[in-house]
């Protein structure tokens, strides 16, 4: 009887350990890619290198051509309180079963690194089979963001952050 209890106890401990390993690996957060302090000049910030987040990629200047590199444009507000933000993107997934979505975050910063404005936007669902070109999504999103002229004039860099 003592041997049976020892085997049951050992089996329980093993099950708990294996279960915690399985749960621990299952709750890992999505991979995040970052390209920090990317220059902003003449209304534009171009992603210098392809941003990698897990199985997903946002194409940078290092992959262009034949792909189109990603950039953001921030048009000045002029006399108003709203600047116009445009995200032009080329994104793709290298491996997926259901199609992936790129979750983009842009932090507009001044020269000393202080955050002036944060923009978050999701790209479209990418394809789930075929070649990279078939799993790619290209396009743009554009909308006004609240930013006055004096703040706009201090934008010097953009942090590009993405997860998938």
Q: For the whole model, what pTM was predicted?
A: 0.79
Secondary structure class of 59 (helix, strand, coil): coil
Cα–Cα dist 11/7, whole Å: 6
Class of domain 31-163: mainly beta
% of the chain surpassing 90 pLDDT: 60
Give 76-120 pLDDT, tens digit per residue: 998 889 999 999 999 998 887 777 999 999 999 999 999 999 999
**Is residue 1 predicted with pLDDT exceeding 70?**
no
């Amino acid at each position: 009887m003592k041997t049976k209890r020892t085997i049951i106890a050992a089996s329980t401990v093993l099950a708990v350990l294996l279960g915690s390993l399985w749960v621990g690996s299952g709750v890992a957060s999505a991979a995040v890619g970052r390209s920090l302090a990317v220059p902003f000049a003449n209304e534009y910030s171009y992603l210098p290198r392809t941003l990698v987040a897990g199985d997903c990629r946002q194409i940078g200047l290092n992959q262009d051509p034949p792909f189109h590199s990603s950039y953001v444009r921030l048009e000045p507000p002029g006399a108003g309180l709203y600047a116009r933000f445009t995200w032009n993107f080329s994104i793709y997934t290298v491996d997926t079963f259901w199609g992936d979505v790129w979750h983009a975050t842009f932090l507009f910063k001044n020269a000393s690194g202080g955050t002036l404005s944060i923009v978050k936007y999701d790209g479209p669902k990418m394809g789930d089979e075929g070649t990279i070109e078939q799993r790619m999504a290209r396009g743009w999103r554009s909308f006004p963001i609240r930013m006055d002229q004096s703040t706009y004039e201090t934008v010097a860099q953009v942090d590009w952050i993405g997860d998938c």
